[in-house]
Structure 1
Amino acid sequence: MPTHISLPNERVEQLRMIAKAKNATIPEVIAGFVRAEIDKGTIPATIPGIDISTTGPEITIRAASGFEATFPADQGPTLADLLKSAATATADPERKSRWMEGLAALSGIKVKRAGNGLKLVSPITGQEFPLNLDVAADLADQISPASE
């Protein structure tokens, strides 16, 4: 769930200026800052509140919210690609939709587009886990090594 952070008006205006100069949104500017700090080693690449674990031939995603979904490890690269590609525009939304449906058929985990993000849907409980697109891309980076 999004959290609102209070900043002085001057900082907000500076963020707007940075975003405009980079042809990005303020959330994209902040996400870029966070990724830069991950790359520097200031903070770990893991996502707070989300645990990715591999047990035998399966990968499990657990969130602090209670969401849990398990899927075959061999489908990890497909899910990671889908999560990363969700953040990029595509000239063929029908293809992306078929890819999402195909992943659900193969693994049982479903990915739905939702506003400025997406939702993972547990195959067992039907529980939905919303993700901002840039966090979804970070999750993809966590799933990829678990698939190996």
Structure 2
Amino acid sequence: MLIVNKSVPMTNHIRLPAERIEQLRRIAQAKEKTITEVIADYVRSEIAAGTIPASVPGFDVASEGASITIRANGFEASVPMGEGPTVADLLKEAGSANADPERKKRWIEGAAAMSGMTVKRAGNGLKLVSPITGREFPLNLDIAADLAEQIERAAE
């Protein structure tokens, strides 16, 4: 059973038997990851296998002339085509566990400078702020990395 809490756009709740949760916890511990990272690895393996498309659900990323447009539920931003790969790298690096906090801050500010959108750090994620609509869009760091790959594909 999937329970979706629509009042909190960044979080959904999935009910699993306690035994399955314990198995996931053990897998995560063995791999020195979080349960969220284990699930993300599984999703990425299914993308690689062709089970589902590589696009991030809810995001429309498209090449439109000399720019890449990113749209999602009231969020909209446009990135110059030549800056797409750089913005993608910045989004990926913002979630890197290996980066020091000051460097992450510079990457986030760099993404904002290149795209016109504001990128704020918010807990274990980011908030993208549209320069067009002003709307904030919460984004988990793991999903930010997937969105970055979608931006890279649009820039090709």
TM-score w.r.t. the length of structure 1 is 0.92
Partners in 2 of 1:102 and 1:138 — Cα distance?
Answer: 19
User: Which of 130, 144, 148 is matched with 2:152 structurally?
Assistant: 144
Q: Percent of pairs identical after alignment?
A: 68
Aligned length: 147
Partner residue, 1:106: 114
2:50 corresponds to 1:41: yes
- Provide the aligned C-alpha RMSD in A: 1.4
TM-score w.r.t. the length of structure 2 is 0.87
Moved more, 37-46 or 125-134: 125-134
Identify if the C-alpha distance between structure 1 residues 87 and 104 changes in structure 2 by more than 3 Å, giving closer, same or farther.
Answer: closer
Partners in 1 of 2:56 and 2:111 — Cα distance?
Answer: 23
Partner residue, 2:62: 53
Structure 1 residue 53: Cα displacement? 0.8
Q: Tell me the alpha carbon deviations over residues 29-87 of structure 1, each in whole angstroms, 9 at most, x when there is no partner.
A: 10010001111111111111111011111111111x22111121111111100111112
Structure 1 residue 145: Cα displacement? 1.8
Partners in 2 of 1:35 and 1:79 — Cα distance?
Answer: 21
Identify if the C-alpha distance between structure 1 residues 12 and 99 changes in structure 2 by more than 3 Å, giving closer, same or farther.
Answer: closer
Gaps of 5+ in 2: 1-9
